[in-house]
């Protein structure tokens, strides 16, 4: 028992381990959802510079958002 820790609560070392696990899971989920999007954009958009730039930016935004969402879901799920 750790003094001051509620029943069912996590100590700082356990919380850090949980966050690392959630980060690793979220990175795999983000890569798994971003690769098909990047492939689709590569094959379907025209080959001009503007559309490629829009595709790159949208894929990067997609990766960041899916990583953040997956991290939050993984944290809730692993607790």
CA 4 to chain centre: 32
Domain-embedded: residue 4: no
Domains in the chain, number: 1
pLDDT for position 12: 79
Domain-embedded: residue 6: no
Q: What is the spatial distance between Cα 23 and Cα 21, in angstroms, rounded to a whole number?
A: 5
More confident of the two residues 60 and 4: 60
Domain-embedded: residue 54: yes
**Confidence check: pLDDT of 74 > 70:** yes
Global confidence as pTM: 0.82
Domain-embedded: residue 63: yes
pLDDT-derived band at 77, boundaries 50, 70, 90: very high
pLDDT tens-digit profile of 37-65? 999 999 999 989 999 999 999 999 999 99
Domain-embedded: residue 70: yes
Instruction: Give residue 56's domain range.
Output: 14-78
pLDDT for position 5: 67
Angle between helices 12-44 and 49-78 (to 10 degrees): 150
Domain-embedded: residue 21: yes
Domain-embedded: residue 60: yes
SS3 content of the chain, % helix, strand, coil (to 5): 80, 0, 20
């Amino acid at each position: 028992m750790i003094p001051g820790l509620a029943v069912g609560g996590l100590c700082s070392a356990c919380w850090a381990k949980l966050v690392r696990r959630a980060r690793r899971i979220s990175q795999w989920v983000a890569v798994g959802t971003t690769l098909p999007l990047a492939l689709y954009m590569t094959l379907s958009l025209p080959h001009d510079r503007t559309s490629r730039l829009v595709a790159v930016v949208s894929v990067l935004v997609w990766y960041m958002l899916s990583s953040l969402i997956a991290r939050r879901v993984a944290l809730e799920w692993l607790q």
